[in-house]
Amino acid sequence: MNQSTSELGDDASRELKAQYQLLKQERPGIRARDAARELGVPEGSLLAAHVGSNVTRLDDNAQAILKDVLALGEVMALTRNESCVHERKGLYDNCHFFSHGRKSMGLFLNPDIDLRLFLEHWKFCFHAVEPGRGKLRKSLQFFDKSGEAVHKIYLTSNSDAAALDVLVKNHRHARQDTSIETEAYVPDAPDTARSRVDWEGFRTAWKNLKDTHDFKPMLRRFGVRREQALKGVGQEFANQVPNNSVRRTLEQARDRQCEIMVFVGNRGCIQIHTGLISRLVVHGNWYNILDPEFSLHLREDRIARSWVTRKPTEDGTVTALEIFDKDGELIALFFGKRKPGIPEQELWRRIIDTLPGGGEGTACVA
């Protein structure tokens, strides 16, 4: 909604539910995110309107809920942004939570469920039971203060449904209201004027990187946004490549059996897949990986610019393919599989080098 805060009353919630049902009749299969946009409300408000029917409000303590998800067994984790959806089946094991100043963070470090959580953005929590694909789909859904989804967890045929019932009972919110109060985020500041950036110092800092995790703090230190940094750092470290580079890269990774890493995130969560990929499918504007344990759904038409980046580390150079939308927001990151202490795969570098402009010191404007 355009206003900074919104809270629907019971009458408005009932009207919203009725409008949603009508919209689903007119457009069967419409996703909740898209329906909410058409109805002019945040997705979290649309879900809250169904509290008391097929939705239960859970305590506003995502960390406590997440600690109990392991009992559900195999589930499907879903994290998305406006242009990409990342789905991975597995166990919510090996979790770690910690605070740094006012920031609260969490990690799930597993071969299957691999997440980086920025929990200060996790505000509203729900359990939902919704029809889908010929059966009821049970899920845990988490939203930020604006009502935008940051993460969802769906039961699979291998999940323990009884354990989910226990989780919902233990974390049921005392108030089962049909509305939530949402608050819009302040828009991001525009790029710093190029003339005000210490580009010489920035290039030196980039050249002296020791770990990829130092990259974002470096951006903050020099006051530049991610894509602005790629445009200004020079071809030694960042080259623009054609916007079909994701498709070309994934096809080669499949054909040459190169294990990759796929990062997709939003302000509250980054979800990572590591491993081989197999089934690539085009459906309209969506380019998809449809493997048994991992799915990716990418809106190719929303890729505005694509970059190959090279970041020095103590283990050697780390090469990535980074894609951005028209507003300069990061859609997804692609790496070759790697672990700390182990150099990057040579096969991955060769795949990236085949992209027009992908080789070090070259450029190809898309």
**Which pLDDT tens digits describe the chain residue by residue (366 residues)?**
344 456 666 788 889 999 999 999 999 889 999 999 999 999 999 999 999 999 999 999 999 999 999 999 999 999 999 999 999 999 999 999 999 888 899 999 999 999 999 999 999 999 999 987 778 999 999 999 999 999 999 999 999 999 999 999 999 999 999 999 999 999 988 999 999 999 999 999 999 999 999 999 999 999 999 999 999 999 999 999 999 999 999 999 999 999 999 999 999 999 999 999 999 999 999 999 999 999 999 999 999 999 999 999 999 999 999 999 999 999 999 999 998 889 999 999 999 999 998 776 555 544
In this predicted structure, what is the pLDDT of residue 101?
82
Give the span between the Cα atoms of 232 and 307, in whole angstroms.
12
Give the span between the Cα atoms of 343 and 74, in whole angstroms.
32
In this predicted structure, what is the pLDDT of residue 6?
61
In this predicted structure, what is the pLDDT of residue 1?
38
Burial 284-323 (b: 16+ CB within 10 A, else e): eeebebebeebbbbbbbebbbbbbbbbbbbebeebbbbbb
Q: Any idea where the domains of the chain sit in the sequence?
A: 5-93+125-183, 194-291+300-353
| pTM metric for this prediction | 0.94
In this predicted structure, what is the pLDDT of residue 167?
98
- DSSP letter at 52 equals T
Q: What are phi and psi of 35, to 5 degrees?
A: -65, -45
Q: What superfamily in CATH does domain 5-93+125-183 come from? A: HemS/ChuS/ChuX like domains (3.40.1570.10)
In this predicted structure, what is the pLDDT of residue 132?
75
Burial of 12 (0-12, 13-18, 19+ CB in 10 A): middle
In this predicted structure, what is the pLDDT of residue 2?
40
Give the span between the Cα atoms of 77 and 142, in whole angstroms.
12
Distances, alpha carbon 237 to alpha carbons 111, 175, 233, 263, in Å: 29, 52, 7, 20
In this predicted structure, what is the pLDDT of residue 3?
42
Listing DSSP states for 307-330 in one string gives EEEEE--TTS-EEEEEEE-TTS-E
Structurally, at CATH architecture level, domain 194-291+300-353 sits in 3-Layer(aba) Sandwich (3.40)
